Amino acid sequence: MRLLKCLSVFLFLFVGCKIKITYPSEFYEAKSLFEQKKFEKVIDLLENSKIKRSQKTDWYYYFYGVSLYEKSKRYTREAIENLGIAITFSKNVPDYYLYIGKMYFDIAEYEKARENFSKASQLCKKNEPLDNKKVNLWLALLLCKLGEFDYDDFKSKYSISESAYLEEFCKLYSEKKVSEDYIKRLFGADSLELYEKLLIVDILFCQSSEKELCKKIIESCLHGNIDFDDVVRKFFYSKLLFYSLGDTEKCKEVVRQFGVEMIHDVYILNCNDFYVLEKFN
């Protein structure tokens, strides 16, 4: 695991030999649950464990903070606090900064997100062959959100060719285009989270000058033979409402009338900005 490798390297350099690190049994159980994305069980395990204070190092706050965030975005600020504590124990783990950047992105604190994504990118470059594709994707999403994305500049600074989905997204965005084929392939990608896919598509739709084409693509996706996740269909339906009604407030009102059962997986902050935030109680 990346955080264990970074900590071991630090200790090796500091004392001149590799030190065997011992962890409580809860660490291995939490790690297993975390890798299986059973975040509620991770939270329950760590909250009810009898781990000694001295054993609660970066791993504890990383697993707990990320699990809170993945369980519900309502806990984003608490999750940021936990990741911040994790960093005080180990400052050279790219994943810590990547997650904090994503959390700040969600609450629209974009400069803080930029700072953390940049730090994650720097650490990835120093700790090759750590995977930098995720960091580059989020940097691109951030710059697009801020209206600062420049394809040639971004390509010269970051390796986007390692990810076909990222490279094509960057090209489409810079050309103000959308592609139905790309969107369909994107939702079939295993390497991206659903939230990342929806952000990519939303940014492309917002950037495109071909709004009627966007509408046709959405209709095609909704009524096609592709077996999209239910949350994706709700996302497309909500976006179609926006293009059809053309009025943000009216769109919001119609979406509210769907009722909890219709949109329990998708919470719409703004009819032109869609985020998968949390499941309604």
* Cα R_g (the chain), whole angstroms: 21
**86 near 96, Cβ under 8 Å?**
yes
State residue 19's pLDDT score: 47
Tell me the HSE value of 51 on the side-chain side, using a 13 A CA sphere: 22
Q: Is the dihedral of CA 16, 18, 24, 27 positive or negative?
A: positive
Query: Which amino acid is located at 241 in the chain?
Result: L
Q: pTM for the full model?
A: 0.81
Three-state DSSP class for residue 44: helix
Residues 135-183 pLDDT 10s: 999 999 999 999 999 999 998 888 787 788 899 999 999 999 999 999 9
Average pLDDT over residues 44-52: 89
Percent of the chain with pLDDT strictly greater than 70 = 82
